[in-house]
Structure 1
Amino acid sequence: MGPLRGCGIVVCLLVVSLTACSGDDPAGPRAAPSAGLVGPDGTPVEVPVPAGPTGTSYDVTDLGADPEPGTGDDAPAIREALATAEPGDEVVLPAGVYDLRSAEPGDEDANLLLADGVLLRGAGSSATVLRTSFDGEEGSAVVRGAGVEDATVSGVTISSEHDGDLGTDPDEEGPGGGPMYGVQIGEDDGEGSRRVLVDDVSVELFQRHGITVKASREVTVTGCRVADATSVGPGGSGYGIVVEGKPDQRDPGARNDSRHNVVVDNHLDGRHLRHGILLQFPTHHNLVADNVVDGGVLDAIDLHGEGEYLNEIRGNTVTGGDAAAVALGNSGGEENRHDASGEGNWIHDNRLVGNRQGVLVILGTPDTLIEDNEIVGRRDSEVGIELRNAPGTVVRDNTVTGADEEFWAISVTEDDGADGRGAGVATRVLIAGNRLTGLASGILVEAGRDIEITGNALDVEGTRLRVAEGAEVDEGAP
C-alpha cells in the first residue's frame, strides 16, 4: 500500500497481516491469526485520511480573532468560522496565541467543535497556540469531534492557563488543572467518528488525556507531541494518546465499534505522563507504530487490561521508563476493574532501551506474539520480557541485552492476580530463537506448564537457564 495523503502531510503506513503459523514454524498455531490493519478475513485495510481543502478558506482574524495573547476571547470568532464552513473548506489560524475563554453554546464542556469535512489549520504547532481557560471542569475539552466525519485539526499547540505544579505521583490525584482533554474524538448518539486526522498537534497542561479517540474508527493521530499533564494520579489522569472502545462492548458490527485507528510517528515526553500511549476496553485491529516515548511514570505503551485485542504495536522507541516499555494487562482501575488484555496482540520490531521492564504480559492475557524486538536493560532494569499467567504467548527472535546479573533477559513467573483476578501460571508458552547477551542472566522459569524453550542463543555472563522445581519445561537446545 502506498502513502496516505491529506492536508499537505504524508502518512506512510505499512499494512501487515499475521496469519496463523503451521508446518515447520516452531510457533505452531499459537501465533496471532490476524492483527493490526486487517479486516475480519485477514485482508489488508487501508485507513483513509481526509482530503485536503478544495473550497473556501476562512481566516479567523478576519472574523475578529486577535492572535495577540491576553486580548480577549477568540473562541467566538473561531466558532463562527467553523459554523460557516462547509465540507471541503478550511478554517485558518495564523501564527499567534488565541485565548479561548468561552464554551460552545450547545456544548458547555468544549471550546471548539470540529465540523464534517472541514480542516481546522494552524500555522504549525510551533507557531499557533490555542490557550484555554478551562481549569479542571469535568469533561472539558478544548477541541472536540463528536460523531464527525472527514474532519481534521492540524498545526496547533493546545495549552491552558494552568501555571501550577505538574503531575509526578501516580498514587495521588493532584495537583490537576487545565482542561480534561486536549483533543477529544468520540461518538454522538451512538454514532462514532470516522476518517478524522489529528496532525502536528502538541498538547500540554491538561489533566486526563492529551489526545483521545473513543468508540470511533479510521482516526489517524500523527506527528503530534504530548507532554506535561497536571496530574498522573489514578482514575484516568495523565494519559498522552488514548484509543478506547466502550466498556463490555465487543461488537464489530456496532456503529461505534473502535477499530482501525492509527497512532504513528508521535512524540510523548513521559516525565509528567502516567502512560504515553494507551489502548483500553475492547478496541481492536489498531496500529501503534514508529512513536517515540521518552521516560514515563508508569507503563509507556499500555494495553490497559480491559479486553484490547488483535492490535499491532511495532517500530516504537521507548527509553528510560520507570516501569514497562510495553505492558499487556493491568491491575488497576476504580470504576472499571482491570485484569487481562484480549487475545492476539502483536508486539514486534520495537526498540526498548533503559526501562525497568521491556515487555510485560500479565493477568491471563492470552496468545500474544512478541518477536523481533531489541531490548536493552540499564543498571536498575529488572527483566527484558516478563510473562506472568500469559497463556499461549510466543516469544521469538528478540535480542535482549542486560547490564548486570540481576537482570533476567526472559522470565516466566506466577501471577498473584489483582484482588484474585488473573491469578495463575503461564501455560503453552514458546521461547524460541532469541539472542540473549551482556552482563545478564538468561532465561528464568519459576512457574508454568507446557513451557517450550528451543533454539535460543545465550551469550550472557550470568546464569544461562534456571528452572524452578515444579515448573514443566520442554527444553530443546537453549
Structure 2
Amino acid sequence: MMKGFVRKSRRSPAHSWWVALGLVVLLTACTVEESAGPVGSDDVVEPAPSGHGDWQVPGLVDRSGSPIEVPTPGPATGRTLDVTDFGADPDPDSHDDAAAIRAALDAAEPGDEVLLPAGTYDLRTTDPSDKPANIVLRSGVNLRGEGQERTVLLTSLDGKDDSAVIRGSGVHDVIVANFTITSRHEGPLGEDTEDGDAGGGPMYGIHLGAHEGQASSRVLVKNLGIRRFERHGISVKNSREVTLSGNYISEATAVGPGGQGYGIAIEGSADQHDPDAANDSRHNVVIGNTFDGRHLRHAILLQFPTHNNLVAENTIVGSLLDAIDLHGEGEYLNEIRDNTVIGGQQAGIALGNPGGAKNKHDASGPGNWVHSNDLIGNRQGVLVILGTPDTLINDNWINAGKDSKAGIEVRNAPGTELHGNHITGGTDGFWAIRLSEDRGTDGRGKGIPSGIRIECNVIRQVANGIRVDAGEDLSMVENVVDGINGAKLRVADGIEVSRSAQRSSSTKAMNFAVQK
C-alpha cells in the first residue's frame, strides 16, 4: 500500500493580535487579536499563479492545482536477506563488506529487503557497474539497517570524483532506512566558505538521479545519519516523488564554492525546462529532517528549474551561508513551510543567489511560497534578491538576535507579498522589514523592489520597524508596529507608498483567497 505526504498549513492568515488603543502605531487601521504564539489552522493563503507554463499553484499539486499525495513505498512483502549470510562481517575493521552487500542486493527480487544487522560495515570496494559507488540500489528492493546509531556504513572513498556511498539511477519503489553513512576521513571539517581546496570522504552520501532520461521515483530515504562527506549528504537530481524524512545530517568535510557542503540538494538540470520530460524534477518532499549546520554551507538547497517540491518541518541549527536556499537558477512554485531555523550566519531562507567565480546565478523562479516558518537569530529571516519574482511570504514568526540585520529583506524582487508575518527582537541596526536597491552581481539581478505589498504584519518589540530605501508601486496597509526602540517607519525621499486598503479583485482572489 502506498502512503504519501499532502500539503498542509498549521497557521492561519488571519492570525493576529488585539492591541489596546494608544499603545500601537498603525501604518493604517488594523484589527488584531491577542495571541501568545503560533496556532493551528487548516486555512491556506495561496500565492499568485506563476505564469510558468500551465503549472500555476505551488507545492504538492498537479497541473490543475489540485492537491496530490506523493506516494512512498510500503514495507517489503517478500524475503528478508541478511547481509551476514552473504559474507558481511558487522565487526569493525573487516576486510571488505561492500561486496557482500552488493551480492545480497543482486540476489534480491522486487518486494524483498536487504537487512544490515547492527554493526559496522567497512566499504572498501566499489560496484563493477558503477565504479565511483560502493553500493547500487535496485528497483523494488529495500535496504534497511537496525537503527541510525546501531548500523554504520563506513566508506573508504576519499575525494574520488562523483563518488557516492549509495547510488540509485532511474530506480523506483525503494526504501533506504535506519543506518548511518560516514567515512574514514580524519582531516578537518569544512569551515571556510572561500576554501575550494578542502575536502575528503565521498562526494555524496546518497545520490539519486535519472538513467537514460528516466527519473528515479517513489523512493523513501528515512532515519539515516549522514556525515563526513564532501559535496551533498543526500543529492536528488532530475527525479520526482522522492521523500527524505527523519534524517540527521552534519559534518561536511568542505564548504567551499562550486557545490560543497550541502546537507540535502534537490536539483533539476540547467538545460531542462520541459515539465513533460520524464526527468522533470518535481514533487519531492524534504520533511522532518535535522541539520547541525556548523559544517554545512547550506542545509537544504533547491537549484535549477525544480518545481512543486515541499520543504517542511525541518530543524536547522546554524549554517555558514543561507540555511534553506533557492539557489538562483529558476526554481519555481516550491513550498517552504513549518521549518525551524536557528542561528544561521546568513539568511534563514533565501530566494536568489549571486553564485561565485565558478558558477554564476541570479534569480529564483516565480511563485514560491514561504510560510509558517520559525526563524530565530539568523542574519535575515527571509531574503529575496536579484529579480526573484512573485514570492508570497506569509505567517512566518521571526525572532531576531543580536547579530540579525533584517527580519525580511527585499531587494530587486518584483511582486513580493509580505502578509501576516510576526517579527520581534533585534538590536540597534536591525529592521523588521527592509526594502532596498539590489546592486546585482556582475550586472545580473540589478534593480529596485517593485510591486511590493506589505500587509497585516505584526512588528513588536524590535529595534526598528519598516525601512524603504528604494522601490516603486509599493503598498503598505494594516500593519501593526508596536514597542519600537528606534524608527517605526522610514521612507526615503521621493518614494511613494500607497496606504490604501483597496486591492484589485483579481489580486485579492489570486493572492489572498482563503481556502478551507
Equivalent of 2:396, from 373, 385, 389? 373
Q: CA deviation at 1:50?
A: 0.8
Partner in structure 2 of residue 326 of structure 1: 349
Partner in structure 2 of residue 113 of structure 1: 136
Partner in structure 1 of residue 167 of structure 2: 144
Q: Check if 1:346 corresponds to 2:369.
A: yes
Q: Check if 1:85 corresponds to 2:108.
A: yes
Mapped contact 2:303–2:327 kept (Cα < 8 A): yes
Whole-Å separation in 1 of the counterparts to 2:80 and 2:442:
56
Equivalent of 2:251, from 228, 231, 243? 228
> 1:68 aligns to what SS in structure 2?
coil
Q: Check if 1:466 corresponds to 2:485.
A: no
Percent of counterpart pairs with the same letter? 57
Q: CA deviation at 1:216?
A: 0.3
Equivalent of 1:133, from 132, 148, 156? 156
Q: Check if 1:171 corresponds to 2:164.
A: no
Q: Check if 1:310 corresponds to 2:333.
A: yes
Residues 198-255 of structure 1 show CA distances to partners (whole Å, capped at 9, x for unaligned) of 0111110000000010000000000001100000000000000010000032111001
Task: Map 1:27-426 to 2 at 5 A.
Answer: 30=48, 33-426=56-449
Mapped contact 2:328–2:354 kept (Cα < 8 A): yes
Partner in structure 2 of residue 21 of structure 1: none
Whole-Å separation in 2 of the counterparts to 1:55 and 1:334:
51
> 1:198 aligns to what SS in structure 2?
strand
Q: CA deviation at 1:15?
A: 4.8
> 1:441 aligns to what SS in structure 2?
coil
Whole-Å separation in 1 of the counterparts to 2:464 and 2:272:
42
Q: Measured at CA, do residues 28 and 285 of structure 1 come closer, stay the same or move farther in structure 2, by a change above 3 Å?
A: closer
Q: CA deviation at 1:4?
A: 6.5
Q: Measured at CA, do residues 28 and 161 of structure 1 come closer, stay the same or move farther in structure 2, by a change above 3 Å?
A: closer
Letter in 1 for 2:487: T
Whole-Å separation in 2 of the counterparts to 1:31 and 1:408:
30
Whole-Å separation in 2 of the counterparts to 1:257 and 1:472:
42
Q: CA deviation at 1:402?
A: 2.2
Q: CA deviation at 1:449?
A: 0.3
Whole-Å separation in 2 of the counterparts to 1:31 and 1:433:
21
Higher relative contact order (CA 8 A, sep 6+): 2
* More displaced stretch, 405-414 vs 359-368: 405-414
Whole-Å separation in 2 of the counterparts to 1:31 and 1:109:
42
Q: CA deviation at 1:175?
A: 2.3
Residues 409-460 of structure 1 show CA distances to partners (whole Å, capped at 9, x for unaligned) of 0000000001000000011000000000113111000000001000000012
Mapped contact 2:325–2:350 kept (Cα < 8 A): yes
Q: CA deviation at 1:406?
A: 1.5
Partner in structure 2 of residue 442 of structure 1: 465
Residues 248-305 of structure 1 show CA distances to partners (whole Å, capped at 9, x for unaligned) of 3211100100000000000011000000000000000000000000000000000000
Taking structure 1 as the reference length, the TM-score comes to: 0.94
Letter in 2 for 1:171: E
Taking structure 2 as the reference length, the TM-score comes to: 0.87
Partner in structure 2 of residue 14 of structure 1: 7
Mapped contact 2:216–2:239 kept (Cα < 8 A): yes
Whole-Å separation in 1 of the counterparts to 2:199 and 2:183:
12
Letter in 2 for 1:109: P
Whole-Å separation in 2 of the counterparts to 1:4 and 1:226:
26
Q: How many residues align?
A: 460
Residues 335-382 of structure 1 show CA distances to partners (whole Å, capped at 9, x for unaligned) of 542000000000000000011110000000000000000001001110
Whole-Å separation in 1 of the counterparts to 2:243 and 2:358:
28
> 2:103 aligns to what SS in structure 1?
helix
* More displaced stretch, 306-315 vs 172-181: 172-181
Q: Measured at CA, do residues 334 and 13 of structure 1 come closer, stay the same or move farther in structure 2, by a change above 3 Å?
A: farther
Mapped contact 1:375–1:399 kept (Cα < 8 A): yes
Whole-Å separation in 1 of the counterparts to 2:80 and 2:411:
55
> 2:101 aligns to what SS in structure 1?
helix
Give the RMSD, CA atoms, in angstroms.
1.6
Instruction: For structure 1, list consecutive stretches of 5 or more residues without a partner in the other structure.
Output: 6-10, 17-26
Whole-Å separation in 2 of the counterparts to 1:211 and 1:29:
29
Q: CA deviation at 1:469?
A: 1.5
> 2:104 aligns to what SS in structure 1?
helix
> 1:318 aligns to what SS in structure 2?
strand
Mapped contact 2:257–2:358 kept (Cα < 8 A): no
Mapped contact 1:4–1:13 kept (Cα < 8 A): no
> 1:81 aligns to what SS in structure 2?
helix
Equivalent of 1:451, from 442, 455, 474? 474
Whole-Å separation in 2 of the counterparts to 1:137 and 1:65:
24
Q: Measured at CA, do residues 13 and 29 of structure 1 come closer, stay the same or move farther in structure 2, by a change above 3 Å?
A: closer
Mapped contact 2:47–2:392 kept (Cα < 8 A): no
> 1:358 aligns to what SS in structure 2?
strand
Whole-Å separation in 2 of the counterparts to 1:40 and 1:442:
39
Instruction: For structure 2, list consecutive stretches of 5 or more residues without a partner in the other structure.
Output: 10-44, 51-55, 502-516
Q: CA deviation at 1:28?
A: 11
> 1:150 aligns to what SS in structure 2?
strand
Whole-Å separation in 2 of the counterparts to 1:4 and 1:300:
31
Whole-Å separation in 2 of the counterparts to 1:465 and 1:309:
32
Q: Measured at CA, do residues 115 and 181 of structure 1 come closer, stay the same or move farther in structure 2, by a change above 3 Å?
A: same
Q: CA deviation at 1:334?
A: 4.7
Mapped contact 2:381–2:408 kept (Cα < 8 A): yes
Mapped contact 1:268–1:293 kept (Cα < 8 A): yes
Residues 52-106 of structure 1 show CA distances to partners (whole Å, capped at 9, x for unaligned) of 1000110000111000110110001000011111110000000000000000001
Whole-Å separation in 2 of the counterparts to 1:12 and 1:345:
19
